[in-house]
Structure 1
Amino acid sequence: MKRLFIITITLILAISNFAQDIEAPVNPEFVRWQQKQLNGEAACGDIPYYVAPYFQNEQNSTKDIQFDPVYDLRSEGYVTSVKDQAACGVCWTFATMGSIESFLLKSGEGVYDFSEQNMRTCHGFILGDNLTCSGGSPKKAFAYLSRIDGPIDETVLPYDADENATCTEYRASDFCFNQFKIFPSDMAVVKQAVLDYGAIYTNMYYDGVYYNSSDYTYYYDGAEDTDNAVLLCGWDDNKVTAGGTGAWIVRNSWDDDWGDNGYFYISYNDTKYLTSVAAFPGYKEVIPVDTIYMYNELGWISNTGYSAETGYGLVKFVTGGENEINGLGTYVNTEGATISFEVYDDKVDNTLSNLLTTLGPFTVDYPGYYSYEIPSPILLDDGEDFYVKVEYNTPGYNYPIPFEKFSDGYADPQIETGVCWISSTGASWFAYGNDVEGKERDLTIRAYAHDVNVSNIIENNGDDFKLYPQPAENLVILEFNNEQNRTIEIYDIRGRLVLTTESSSNMLELSLNELNSGCYFVKVLCKSNVNTKRLIIN
């Protein structure tokens, strides 16, 4: 009997190890959109998610909160100016930029005006019949925002509404966004999100028949698929519409001569409003030494799993310089999911070895993308490989592992080979990649790093300076060739500005008493010139 028991256990483990993963069902709304796209029908504006986010209605922390009957971000000073998308179906870019501009205002970063033109031309997804006036979604927008391609300033690339406009690649000028949340349509959750994050991305079905131009209200009670992305900026419980009392305060992107100076009011009872609700409430300032290791340039398309709530992903990266790995991130598709990270130095067959760090577990509140700092960054040499393992646990949802893949008429990513694996147990790994038939997929795991060899970014522009002693202790001296106005900035290894000062002298002593031991970067800005050097503090 004991031998039979052992054989049975062994057989169960073998079946588990060689089970085939099952992809999540495609969202029916996306299927309808895709068919329109392939048929050449009008399919601009708002694109449904390829896989519907999973909500289990367990995030009830807002249920008992009493909200003010009226809340208007215009009165709070947390919205930027109304814009005009003109005859170009990229409402999704305006809803996105309006949301992150509002969030930055609310976060104390000041007023920004970002380029919708760069997002609509450089997102990287397949263009529809409307070319760079094709539609999008929050997931499509975040793919662009999260890979340091943008946002860039509107003055660098102004909007022109030309569907033949092509991509001019830039690097994000100030911020890289590293958090993305998709909310359920629950009224209390949505109101709390507006209070927490400012204006948020939403969508609707729009037909002028349902718009009342006399009081700027809108109410639709049908079942057509959504086609317009707009910016949710507050609410008014007392606003009367054709759908009853109570309305959302919404900003369109049809200029300020439409509606109530660009705004209108959508009934709480509208059947298609809030089908998609999202925000981008996480960012970091970027400097030239920042890099992200990832393969999923187009973000997150679908999910897979082994008919269980737990699954594992594993990705191999190779450093492109002497790096400190300082953060990790991944997408998730489930409310209340838990994720854990492990980083290893080596992998031989199914065996991972030389554990470098662990991170988590973390429980996320909503589907989206989440990133986390590594408390003690990992220093790796140029050309060194490392492996990031993620455990996903998604309560009530049997497709825990997110990935990127081809989707006809929507996404055509470059899929890598030999760098991605999945597992049902975290012990036996099965390959994904361009060389695995039927599994041409990239995982959505990312690692954040800084290049500590700043010689790769130093511009020797004639305003060189000496920096000594090295290593420094209590003070450091900067010696210049001449006297002129300069700004001196010191950044820590994570890219955070820790000290700044002005000087017009040819010699400057800086106290380092407030800085901890470690590696820093001293940046000197003089007119249009920038020079950067590494500083070691003992």
Structure 2
Amino acid sequence: MMKLTFILGLICAVCSEGFGQHAAYFDSLVHQKTELPIAFDLRETGMLSPVRVQPSGGCWISASNASIESFWRKSGKEGIRLSDKNPLLYSGFDESRKSNGNHFMVTAVYSRRDGPLPYNPEMDTLPQKNPVLPAVLTDARYLPDSAELIKSVIRDFGGVYSMMYHSKNKGLDTITDIYYAPKKKINHVVCLVGWNDTLETQWGRGVWIAQNSLGTRYADGGFIYIPYQDELILTENACWPGWTDYNPNTQLYYYDTLGSQRSYGFDNPLSYGMVKYTA
């Protein structure tokens, strides 16, 4: 098994941004109250891409791409494997972030059209100028800590990026593949792909089914089962439900070459801010 480096310094927020053609449909369906099954598993639908082996420190990009690929497969856009290594190496962020990241950074990199890139072992470690993209992502949704909402998204659209605590040395029951390591600090990301409300664990009833990024030799073919009682799972969640076909003749206009990666708010409907430019 490869040596792992986990993400640190995550930002907590709940917001939604975007303007893509699929987002309105996503928003309209995801808020409808529908009866959910007691168990659901995307592995049984054929809508998941193969389990990944993340680049060192790259769980944030691997989990994001797993979620994006499952959304695409669910909508009929199949057979595309995205690069994990290239956006990790050329995110544009500070060097210290080359092995640490989050969903805000994924949105920043992809919204400026530096990805998502198709996997190409000959090009993955090289910078790419004006790359041809399999699709242009137009939307991000940062989802709240709502089990019902997360389940609806998984069932109707695809896997959900979700943060957790993970230790390579403890937490995994190698017989049941249940993972539970109580901790107060998030350091890892997985892609939630299902649930089982009836599965009993020593902590209670019910588990999330998560696609990890540590290869197929880890746990249940690369999947783990996280008890609902885990204190950190669902605290930070994301998906990217909007995209459009890539058109090389379109022009993206912007002045922030890095991209938005955090937001601020106040408990007041009237707020002020200033952006200062140097002439």
TM-score of the superposed pair, with normalisation by structure 2: 0.84
Which residue of structure 2 lines up, in the alignment, with residue 53 of structure 1? 14
Deviation of 1:121 (Å) = 1.2
2:240 partner SS: strand
Cross-structure match for 2:46: 77
The one-letter code of the counterpart of 1:48 is L
- Equivalent of 2:180, from 204, 219, 226? 219
Report deviation, 1:197: 2.2
Answer yes or no: is 1:209 the counterpart of 2:170.
yes
Instruction: State the 4+ residue runs in structure 1 displaced beyond 6 angstroms.
Output: none
| Equivalent residues in 2 for 1:106-125, closer than 5 Å | 106-125=74-93
Shift of 1:94: 0.6
**Greater RCO (CA < 8 Å, at least 6 residues apart):** 2
Q: Hey, what does 1:308 align to over in structure 2?
A: 268
Residue equivalent to 2:120:
155
SS at match of 1:181: strand
What do you get for the CA RMSD once the two structures are aligned? 2.7
Match of 2:20 in 1: none
- Cα distance in 2 between the residues matched to 1:63 and 1:107: 19
Structure 1 Cα separation of the partners of residues 123 and 221 of structure 2: 22
Map of 1:127-138 to 2, 5 A cutoff?
127-128=95-96, 132=98, 134-138=99-103
Letter in 1 for 2:247: I
Structure 1 segment 92-491 matched on structure 2, within 5 A? 92-128=60-96, 132=98, 134-155=99-120, 157=122, 167-207=127-167, 208-223=169-184, 225-303=185-263, 308-310=268-270, 432-435=275-278
Percent identity over the alignment is 26
Structure 1 Cα separation of the partners of residues 174 and 226 of structure 2: 12
Matches of 1:215 and 1:307, distance apart in 2: 45
CA contact under 8 A between 2:161 and 2:190: conserved in structure 1?
A: yes
Indicate conservation of the 8 Å contact 1:242/1:267, yes or no. Answer: no
Give 3-state SS (helix, strand or coil) of 1:203's partner.
Answer: strand
- The alpha-carbon deviation at position 307 of structure 1 amounts to 6.7
Superposed, which structure 2 residues align to 1:499-518 within 5 Å?
none
Matched to 1:235, the amino acid is W
| 89-98 or 200-209: bigger deviation | 200-209
Distance in 2 of aligned mates of 1:431 and 1:200: 35
Deviations 1:384-432 (A, max 9, x none): xxxxxxxxxxxxxxxxxxxxxxxxxxxxxxxxxxxxxxxx5xxxxx852
- With over 3 angstroms needed to count, the CA separation of the structure-2 counterparts of 1:288 and 1:236, relative to structure 1, is same
* Separation (CA, whole Å) in 1 of partners of 2:105 and 2:265: 23
Q: Describe the shift of the 1:109–1:435 C-alpha distance in structure 2 as closer, same or farther (beyond 3 A).
A: same
Amino acid of the structure 1 residue aligned with 2:93: F
Structure 1, unaligned stretches of length 5 or more? 1-41, 160-164, 312-423, 425-429, 437-538
Q: 1:89 aligns with which of 51, 57, 61?
A: 57
Q: Size of the alignment, in residue pairs?
A: 263
Conserved 8 A contact 1:123-1:144:
yes
Per-residue CA distance 1:37-91 (angstroms, 9 max, x = gap): xxxxx98425412x63369xxx9x85953211111101011100011125x1111
| Equivalent in 12, 29, 37 of residue 68 of structure 1 | 37
User: Within 2, Cα distance between the matches of 1:76 and 1:180?
Assistant: 24
The answer to which structure has the higher helix fraction is 2
Q: Which runs of 5+ in 2 are unaligned?
A: 17-27
